[in-house]
């Protein structure tokens, strides 16, 4: 790469006082240099791709390898070791397709819709617990995080006693402030436990995603190894918990800032959720790709062996596709075309399930707690500026009592069994 048009660094700083907007530099780059050379925080040089059409083209191009995962340009130790079996985020070609085919069968629209009643019960039970407190709570700690942690743990068949460790370790893995030793310890700890969990499932299959994958793989004479299942589960834990929990909390803050939009959410939650996904774009540093052959991106020739960063939040704020893109408009018709879940072969496996979680969490929250408000000035909030998934660290909220208690659901620790065999048998 040359030095002629280098931006000093990958844009990572949001405009002051604008917690929902991507870095302001993106708008300028889309207009002037939509494919530009940058130096990333970890020191690697890459082509930064900022326009919507170019981002989709990069993510759809199967000659672009994902071996650097989403984070080698941000986290110093990510992606430098050989790609591990089961790493669906990093694998390419047939190895990736094999894993994706096994997992995607668990997240069809029909299967996910069959889980909606259960998701509603989970949300209602956590709202009951939160609203039982004396008029205030931290929405991250008391609502968003435990809901998504329970959901991903149920999907994987993780016993209750280990679930809080998932949250702590996945947060460590996603932070750019952790030391290499802390990252390695969190990774080894999770992989070791998951390997033990799945070894037991091979002998005693239960009613969960990975038990069914074990049974299906054996029936097809293509069994997953313990190492593959552990790494695949690690990918799902990090993505399924952290991204959705941050979206719930950050979306709540955005809706508190735009109260007129709440009625739109309650009237048309599916469309509203996709606009929130577009507008907030919590995968804030984009995703990394490696060119395996020379390819034209926009008007730039990218050489084999060079890196590219597909800036998802810039693409989702491209005015050529989303007029007035920096405005949150929950009635926007074109929101479903966003790239918040990525695009192409590596598009998020659990996007349908994430949509249902977001729809139920946000609609039930604002329907049951119409007086919800921030309990501190917005200027006091702290944001996850240094993590792969953007969000708010704490969200102190308050409401006018009496709140609507109870919903009729049980305690969060005593919910009905997760709906798998009986509710989803028609899809098998």
CA–CA distance, 335 with 273 (Å, rounded to integer):
9
Q: How confident is the model at residue 295 (pLDDT cuts 50, 70, 90)?
A: very high
Q: Which long-range contacts (CB under 8 A, 24 or more apart) does 375-383 make?
A: 375/136, 378/19, 378/253, 378/257, 381/19, 381/253, 383/19
Q: What's the chain look like in SS3?
A: CCCCCCECCCCCCCCCCCCCCCCCHHHHHHHHCCEEEEECCCCCEEEEECCHHHHHHHHHCCCEECCCCCCCCCCCCCCCCCCCCCCCCCCCHHHHHHHHHHHHHHHCHHHHHHCHHHHHHHHHHHHHHHHCCCCEEEHHHHHHHHHHHHHHHHHHCCCHHHHHHHHHHHHHHHECCCCHHHHHHHHHHHHHHHHHHHHHHHHCCCCCHHHHHHHHHHHCCCCCCHHHHHHHHHHHHHHHHHHHHHHHHHHHHHHHHCHHHHHHHHHCHHHHHHHHHHHHCCECCCEEEEECCCEEECCEEECCCCEEEECHHHHCCCCCCCCCCCCCCCCCHHHHHCCCCCCHHHCCCCHHHHHHHHHHHHHHHHHHCCCCEECCCHHHCCECCCECECCECCCEEECCCCCCCCCCCCCHHHCCCCCCHHHHHHHC
Q: What is the mean pLDDT of residues 110-131?
A: 94
Across the range 418-426, mean pLDDT stands at 40
* Pair 129, 143: CB distance under 8 Å: no
| 52, 321 contact by CB (below 8 A) | yes
Position 404 scores a pLDDT of 59
- What percent of the chain stands above pLDDT 70? 88
Mean pLDDT within 139-152: 91
Q: Does domain 25-427 have CATH number 1.10.630.10?
A: yes
Q: Which single residue is written with the structure tokens 């700890």?
A: 189
The token pair that represents 122 in the structure block? 């989970």
pLDDT confidence of residue 399: 95
Lowest mean pLDDT of 97-106, 253-262, 411-420, name the range: 411-420
Q: Please give the C-alpha separations between residue 317 and each of 51, 272, 391, in angstroms, as whole numbers.
A: 9, 16, 18
Domain definitions of the chain by residue range: 25-427
What are the tens digits of pLDDT across the range 361-384? 999 999 999 999 999 999 999 999
The whole-chain average pLDDT of the chain stands at 86
425 — pLDDT class (breaks 50, 70, 90): very low
**Cβ pair 46, 73 in contact under 8 A:** yes
Q: Which residue has the higher pLDDT, 273 or 195?
A: 273
**C-alpha torsion angle, residues 179, 181, 183, 186 (rounded to 10):** -140
Could you report the per-residue pLDDT of 16-30, keeping only the tens digit for each?
Answer: 889 999 999 999 999
**Between 90 and 404, whose confidence is greater?**
90
Q: What is the pLDDT of residue 418?
A: 46
Which region among 63-77, 146-160, 328-342 has the lowest average model confidence (pLDDT)?
Answer: 63-77
C-alpha to C-alpha distance for 138 and 144, rounded to whole angstroms: 9
| Cα distance between residue 59 and residue 8, in whole Å | 25
pLDDT of residue 5 exceeding 60? no
Give the mean model confidence (pLDDT) for residues 395-409: 74
pTM for the predicted model, two decimal places: 0.89
- Token pair 């969200």 is found at 395
pLDDT at 230 over 70: yes
Degrees, nearest 5: CA angle 123-153-204: 135
Q: What would the mean pLDDT of 239-265 be, rounded to a whole number? A: 93
Across 22-36, 47-61, 86-100, 383-397, least confident range = 86-100
Tokens of 104: 């995607």
Task: Give the span between the Cα atoms of 375 and 372, in whole angstroms.
Answer: 9
Q: Which residue has the higher pLDDT, 178 or 202?
A: 202
Strands 307-310, 45-49: pairing is parallel
Residue 64, phi then psi, degrees to nearest 5:
-90, 115
Q: Would the pLDDT of 401 be above 80?
A: no
Tokens of 121: 């019960």
**Per-residue model confidence (pLDDT) at position 403:** 52
Q: Which residue from 239, 252, 237 is spatially nearest to 138, judged by alpha carbons? A: 252
Q: What is the pLDDT of residues 164-192, one digit of tens each?
A: 776 677 667 666 567 778 877 878 888 88
- Residue 303 in this model has a pLDDT that exceeds 50: yes
């Amino acid at each position: 790469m040359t030095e002629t048009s280098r931006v000093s660094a990958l844009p990572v700083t949001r405009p002051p006082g604008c917690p929902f907007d991507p870095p302001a530099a993106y708008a300028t780059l889309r207009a002037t240099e939509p494919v530009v050379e940058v130096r990333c925080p970890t020191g690697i040089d890459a082509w930064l791709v900022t326009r919507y059409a170019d981002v989709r083209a990069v993510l759809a191009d199967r000659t672009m390898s994902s071996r650097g995962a989403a984070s080698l340009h941000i986290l110093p130790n990510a992606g430098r070791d050989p790609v591990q079996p089961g790493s669906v985020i990093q694998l390419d070609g047939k190895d990736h397709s094999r894993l994706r085919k096994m997992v995607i069968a668990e997240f069809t629209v029909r299967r996910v819709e069959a889980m909606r009643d259960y998701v509603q019960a989970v949300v209602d039970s956590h709202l009951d617990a939160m609203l039982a407190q004396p008029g205030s709570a931290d929405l991250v700690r008391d609502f968003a995080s435990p809901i998504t942690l329970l959901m991903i743990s149920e999907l994987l068949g993780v016993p209750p006693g280990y679930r809080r460790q998932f949250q702590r370790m996945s947060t460590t893995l996603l932070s750019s402030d952790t030391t290499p030793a802390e990252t390695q310890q969190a990774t080894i700890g999770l992989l070791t436990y998951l390997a033990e969990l799945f070894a037991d499932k091979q002998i005693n299959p239960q009613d969960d995603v990975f038990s069914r994958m074990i049974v299906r793989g054996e029936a097809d004479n293509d069994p997953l190894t313990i190492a593959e299942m552990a790494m695949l589960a690690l990918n799902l834990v990090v993505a399924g918990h952290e991204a959705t929990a941050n979206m719930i909390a950050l979306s709540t803050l955005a809706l508190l800032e735009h109260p007129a939009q709440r009625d739109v959410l309650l009237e048309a939650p599916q469309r509203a959720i996709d606009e929130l996904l577009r507008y907030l774009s919590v995968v804030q540093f984009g995703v990394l790709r490696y060119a395996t052959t020379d390819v034209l991106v926009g008007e730039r020739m990218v050489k084999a062996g060079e890196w590219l960063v597909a800036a998802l939040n810039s693409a989702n704020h491209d005015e050529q596709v989303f007029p007035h893109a920096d405005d949150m408009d929950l009635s926007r018709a074109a929101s479903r075309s966003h790239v918040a879940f990525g695009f192409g072969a590596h598009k998020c496996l659990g996007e349908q399930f994430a949509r249902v979680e977001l729809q139920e969490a946000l609609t039930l929250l604002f329907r049951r707690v119409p007086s919800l408000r921030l309990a501190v000035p917005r200027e006091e909030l702290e944001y996850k500026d240094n993590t792969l998934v953007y969000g708010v660290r704490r969200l102190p909220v308050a409401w006018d009592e009496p709140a609507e208690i109870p919903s009729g659901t049980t305690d969060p620790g005593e919910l009905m069994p997760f709906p798998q065999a009986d509710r989803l048998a028609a899809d098998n």
